[in-house]
Amino acid sequence: MSDYSIWILEFACVPDAATSSLIFGRHNVGVEKLPYAYTLLKSREHTILLDCGLNAASHGLEFVERYNVSNWASPRDVLAEVGVTPEEIDYVILSHAHFDHMGGLELFPNAKFMIQSSELAGWVEVMAMDRKFRWLMGATDPGDIIYAVQLAREGRMIGIDGDQDNVLPGIDVRLVRDSHTVGSQYIIIRNDGQAASDDRYVYTGDLIYRFENFHGGDPSDPKILPNGLSFGNYTTIIFATDRILKEVAGDMKRVLIPHEGAMAEVYPSRTTGRGHYIVEVALAEGEATRI
CATH number of the domain enclosing 263? 3.60.15.10
Q: Considering the domain boundaries, does residue 290 fall inside one?
A: no
The b/e string for 100-130 (b: 16+ C-beta within 10 A; e otherwise) is bbbbbbebbeebbbbbbbbbbebbeebeeee
pLDDT at 22: 95
pLDDT digits (tens, 9 = 90+) for 170-212: 999 999 999 999 999 999 999 999 999 999 999 999 999 999 9
pLDDT at 61: 87
Counting residues of the chain whose pLDDT is more than 70, the rounded percentage is 100
Average pLDDT value for the chain: 97
pLDDT at 60: 81
The least confident of 26-30, 239-243, 264-268 is 26-30
Q: Considering the domain boundaries, does residue 208 fall inside one?
A: yes
The DSSP result for 120-137, as a single string, is HHHHHHHHTS-GGGGGGG
Is the predicted pLDDT of residue 1 greater than 90, yes or no? Answer: no
pLDDT digits (tens, 9 = 90+) for 29-69: 999 999 999 999 999 999 999 999 999 987 788 899 999 99
Residue 251's domain comprises 5-282
Q: Considering the domain boundaries, does residue 261 fall inside one?
A: yes
pLDDT at 178: 97
Q: Considering the domain boundaries, does residue 291 fall inside one?
A: no
pLDDT digits (tens, 9 = 90+) for 64-81: 999 999 999 999 999 999
pLDDT at 57: 81
Q: Considering the domain boundaries, does residue 287 fall inside one?
A: no
pLDDT at 58: 78
Is the predicted pLDDT of residue 265 greater than 80, yes or no? Answer: yes
pLDDT at 251: 98
Largest CA distance in the chain: 55
If one counts the domains in the chain, the total is 1
Q: Considering the domain boundaries, does residue 288 fall inside one?
A: no
Q: Is 90 exposed, middle or buried (0-12, 13-18, 19+ CB in 10 A)?
A: middle
pLDDT at 2: 92
123-147 average pLDDT score:
97
pTM exceeding 0.85: yes
